[in-house]
Structure 1
Amino acid sequence: MAFAHSTEASLSPLEKLIHDLLVRWFRNSGWTISGNLPSDPKFVIMGASHTSNWDFLVFLGAVHALGRQVHFIGKKSLFRWPIGGFMRALGGIPVDRNARQDIVSQVVDQFNAHDRFILVIAPEGTRSRTKDWKTGFYQIAMKAGVPIVAAGPDFPTRRGVFGPVIHPSGDYGADLKPAFAFFRSLTPRHPERAAFPDLN
């Protein structure tokens, strides 16, 4: 039910419209990009700190502005008529929380089914302050055999910043130390909501 595209030429008319609108919004809103995405055809973007609804648009806009397609996961009910087609064109991947197969395995199947696939996940799982970050993004990257790219918005400078590329080894704490150092260098829209797990 998901899709993956490697070039703008392969987009459907609705996907092309969404791509153009995202890039136009990103640039006209004064956002710029620092860093770059790896050339790998498949990877997980670990997006943080996630403190506002605007973060999602910044993540999507930044990736689209670099000419890449990006996907996100959402509960299956969001992909029904009348907005199902739009959600898929935006890059949404429906997951069934009641399925026999767990969500991590469902997403890994999407990586395995495509030659090119970029997935963005906000590990906090909420816009509220929390140190209890989810580890699903890490499990997905491990099982799919793909790297993790740390990325986040810096609102004072209006930059979408791509940071360290992490190749997960199975040692979560050691692997993610560079990512958390990177996230602490950015200022989200609501800094008071930003919090980080204790990796010690």
Structure 2
Amino acid sequence: MSYYRTFRGFFRIIFSLVFRWQVIGREHIPKEGPVILCCNHISLWDPPLLGSGIERMVNFMAKEELFRVPVVGFLIAKFGAFPVKRGAGDRSAIRTTLKLLEDGKILGIFPEGTRSKTGELGEAMPGSAMFALKSQAQVIPVAIIGPYRMFRPIKIVYGEPIDLTTLREAKSSADTLKETSELIMTHIQKLRDQHRS
């Protein structure tokens, strides 16, 4: 955790001085218990921004290739990342994620699965919905409103928890996953619309 705090402090300085960040909605983050932060994805800066905006530690999935890069692998592991094989159902990563949530920790995830080239929201992959439905975590929509430009404001907005009670009580199916994914993305879009300037 000491490494994490050090890196978070470093990134907070960058976001404050270089990008003049604005953090909105920190009060919506539960002080304890499992949480899934579902955020749009526009840049490589997004994971550290998502984690730097709040006090609790945020854990991330990261493609396994990054862990084989000298220095980078060490740093992202210390910043709360764990490996996942992209393009395949990585059962180990799924188990790690569900155990993390069972232990009351925070998962940061980008439902689209890849960065948006246009800055607009894309279609969500089923992963975030699956974790939301298979856990009792509070699901928080998060919007990053960019682009990242030196000395220009970047906003990160943490929304209110999404009520998934009805969907969690429904029979698990592809339709339930799709509906959950769409609901998450709708909440992210609403935050983007509300806080664009």
| Alignment of 1:185 onto 2:194 | yes
CA distance in structure 2 between the aligned counterparts of 1:53 and 1:96, rounded to whole angstroms = 18
User: 2:133: which partner in 1?
Assistant: 142
Identity %: 20
User: CA shift at 1:157, angstroms?
Assistant: 5.0
- Closer, same or farther in 2 for the Cα pair 1:186/1:56, shift >3 Å? farther
Amino acid at match of 2:125: K
| Alignment of 1:27 onto 2:16 | yes
- Give the secondary structure class of the aligned counterpart of 2:133: helix
**TM superposition score normalised by structure 1:** 0.70
- Closer, same or farther in 2 for the Cα pair 1:44/1:100, shift >3 Å? closer
User: 1:42: which partner in 2?
Assistant: 34
User: 1:163: which partner in 2?
Assistant: 159
Matches within 5 A, 1:16-95: 16-29=5-18, 30-36=20-26, 37-48=29-40, 50-63=41-54, 67-80=55-68, 82-83=70-71, 84-95=73-84
Matches within 5 A, 1:79-118: 79-80=67-68, 82-83=70-71, 84-96=73-85, 101=91, 103-112=93-102, 114=103, 116-118=104-106
- Closer, same or farther in 2 for the Cα pair 1:101/1:165, shift >3 Å? same
User: CA shift at 1:56, angstroms?
Assistant: 3.1
User: CA shift at 1:52, angstroms?
Assistant: 2.7
Q: Is the 8 A contact 2:145 2:192 kept in 1?
A: no
- Give the secondary structure class of the aligned counterpart of 1:125: coil
CA distance in structure 2 between the aligned counterparts of 1:79 and 1:106, rounded to whole angstroms = 16
**TM superposition score normalised by structure 2:** 0.71
Q: Is the 8 A contact 1:153 1:187 kept in 2?
A: no
Amino acid at match of 1:33: V
Q: Which runs of 5+ in 1 are unaligned?
A: 1-10, 189-200
CA distance in structure 2 between the aligned counterparts of 1:101 and 1:159, rounded to whole angstroms = 34
Q: Which runs of 5+ in 2 are unaligned?
A: 147-151, 168-175
Query: RMSD value over aligned CA atoms?
Result: 2.9
- Closer, same or farther in 2 for the Cα pair 1:168/1:55, shift >3 Å? same
Q: Is the 8 A contact 2:141 2:188 kept in 1?
A: yes
- Closer, same or farther in 2 for the Cα pair 1:91/1:135, shift >3 Å? same
- Closer, same or farther in 2 for the Cα pair 1:82/1:132, shift >3 Å? same
- Give the secondary structure class of the aligned counterpart of 1:164: coil
CA distance in structure 1 between the aligned counterparts of 2:92 and 2:56, rounded to whole angstroms = 28
Higher helix share: 2
- Give the secondary structure class of the aligned counterpart of 2:111: coil
Q: Which aligned segments of 4 or more residues in structure 1 are displaced greater than 6 angstroms?
A: none
